[in-house]
Amino acid sequence: MNNKYDLIYEGKAKKVFTHNDSDKVIIEFKDDATAFNALKKAKFEGKGKLNCLISAKIFELLIKKNIPTHFIKLKNENTMIAKKIKIIPLEIVLRNNAYGSLCKQTTLKSGTILAKPLIDIYLKNDELNDPLLTKDRIELMKIISSKDLDLIIDLTLKINVILKSFFKNIKLQLVDFKLEFGYDFKKNIILGDEISPDNCRLWDLNQENDKIVSLDKDRFRNDLGGLIEAYTEINRRINNFI
C-alpha cells in the first residue's frame, strides 16, 4: 500500500488506512487467514483480493436494498474505499442452521434447520476470546443502547432475508454469518467489516446427495483444503449472476 496513507488499524484479515478525505478510510484485504482466535494461522495467496471483490458485490447489493453500509467503491482488487465508522465492539452472528459453535455448545444436531433465525451476539475482544453475551450483559457494559441494539438486530434480520435469497439463486445455502456495525460521524448505524466466505458459512447446493460441501473458511478451519478454489467459485457464481 502507498506510504502516503497512514495505517490506522491492523486486524487479522484487514488493514485500515487514512484517506485524503477524513470521513473515509482505505481498507486493504490481507491474504492471512486465522481460526480459533488466531490459534491457527496461514496465508492463502489471492484470498485478500477474492474477499474484497466478493464483499464489494455484496455491499452493492445491500445498498440497492437500502441497507446502510460503509462501502463506497473499490480502489483496486484488494482495497476498497469506505466511510469511516467507529466500530461497535460486538460480533453479530445470525444462524439459519445449527452448525459450528452452536453444535458444540448445545444438543442441536449439526445442520438442523432453525425454525427462525437465531441471533448470537459476541463481545469483540480477542483477549477474552470473544465471549457470547446476553442483552443484560450488553446493557451492563453500556456498549450500546437497547434501542440501537434493536436496530442492529432488525438490520441483521433484513440482511439475512436479502442474502439468503441471493445466495440461493447462485446455488449456495447461507448457513450462518457474522456482521459488525459501527457509527458514522452523524451517529447513524452502518454495516461495516466485510461479507465474504471468511465470515459466512456457504454450502454448495449443487450436490446430488445430502453431503455438506463447504465453500467458505471452514475449508481452513477443518483442514479440508481447496480454500482458494472455493472462494474463486463463489466469486465466479456472483459475477455470473450480477
Out of 178, 230, 235, 238, the residue judged to bind ligand TMP by CB under 6 A: 178
Rounded to an integer, what distance in angstroms lies between the CA atom of residue 148 and that of residue 152?
6
> 32: buried, middle or exposed (CB in 10 Å: 19+, 13-18, 0-12)?
middle
Residue 47 contacts ligand TMP per CB under 6 A: no
**Residue 188 CB neighbour total at 10 angstroms:** 12
Residue 201 contacts ligand TMP per CB under 6 A: yes
Binding residues with ligand TMP: total (CB under 6 A):
11
19 or 238: CB nearest ligand TMP:
238
* Residue type at position 205: L
Q: What are phi and psi of 17, to 5 degrees?
A: -120, 160
Rounded to an integer, what distance in angstroms lies between the CA atom of residue 172 and that of residue 202?
6
Residue 170 contacts ligand TMP per CB under 6 A: no
Out of 28, 176, 215, 230, the residue judged to bind ligand TMP by CB under 6 A: 176
Rounded to an integer, what distance in angstroms lies between the CA atom of residue 18 and that of residue 7?
7
Residue 194 contacts ligand TMP per CB under 6 A: no
Region 110-149 residues binding ligand TMP, contact defined as CB under 6 A: 130
Residue 46 contacts ligand TMP per CB under 6 A: no
Q: Which residues of 194-222 are buried (b: 16+ CB within 10 A; e: fewer)?
A: bbbbbbbbbbbeeeeeeebbbbbbbbbbe
- Residue 175 and residue 96 in contact, taking contact as beta carbons nearer than 8 Å: yes
Out of 29, 177, 203, 220, the residue judged to bind ligand TMP by CB under 6 A: 177
Residue 167 contacts ligand TMP per CB under 6 A: no
Closest contact distance (angstroms) between CB of 21 and ligand TMP is 29
Residue 15 contacts ligand TMP per CB under 6 A: no
How is residue 29 written as a grid cell?
A: 484485504
Residue 90 contacts ligand TMP per CB under 6 A: no
* Residues making contact with ligand TMP (CB under 6 A): 93, 100-102, 130, 176-178, 199-201
